[in-house]
Amino acid sequence: MTQELSTETPPPTSTPVNSANQLSRSLSWRVASNLFISFRYAWAGVMYAFQTQRNFRIHVAVGLLAVSLSILLGLSRVEIAIIGLTTGAVLTMELLNTALESVVDLTVRQTYHELAKIAKDCAAGAVLISALAAILVAGSLLFPPLIALLQTWWR
């Protein structure tokens, strides 16, 4: 027997503001008491991904190569920014993929679950699509001046 998902939007629930709810919100500020600590936590996430995720390191290296090459080839500031933004998008997707995989692993523990597989595969697919788009963008911006440079060397 299969369950059908309801297409109806559930009615909005109003959460009464009470002292317990206000207390939990006031305690949430203790986690990151200031902006500097928030940035430190964010940087810890980036460093975790860099230290533990091979693909994140590959994306960082390829992104640095693409940005460096765009500067060396004399691309315009807008073109360099576009390559930087697409590189940032790939790295962001890789961080989100790592976070989602960690949450899924925490949820299912060491057991196999088909929905966990779907979630992980879809997150990995999002990284793949963003990486392919970044390759397309960087290729279309880098290849013409790179080919022109190579042609001047061969003459």
Considering the domain boundaries, does residue 15 fall inside one? no
Considering the domain boundaries, does residue 8 fall inside one? no
Considering the domain boundaries, does residue 94 fall inside one? yes
Considering its fold, how many domains does the chain have in total? 1
Considering the domain boundaries, does residue 4 fall inside one? no
This prediction's pTM: 0.78
Helix (H) or strand (E) holding 11: none
3-state secondary structure of 74: coil
Considering the domain boundaries, does residue 134 fall inside one? yes
Task: Identify the domain containing residue 98 by its residue range.
Answer: 34-154
Between CA 39 and CA 16 the distance in angstroms is 32
Residues with catalytic roles:
94
26-52 per-position pLDDT tens digit: 555 567 788 999 999 999 999 999 999
Among candidate residues 149, 131, 147, 2, the one with its CA nearest the CA of residue 63: 131
Considering the domain boundaries, does residue 26 fall inside one? no
Considering the domain boundaries, does residue 81 fall inside one? yes
pLDDT tens for the chain, residues 1 to 155: 444 444 455 445 544 555 555 555 555 556 778 899 999 999 999 999 999 999 999 999 999 999 999 999 999 999 999 999 999 999 999 999 999 999 999 999 989 999 999 999 999 999 999 999 999 999 999 999 999 999 999 97
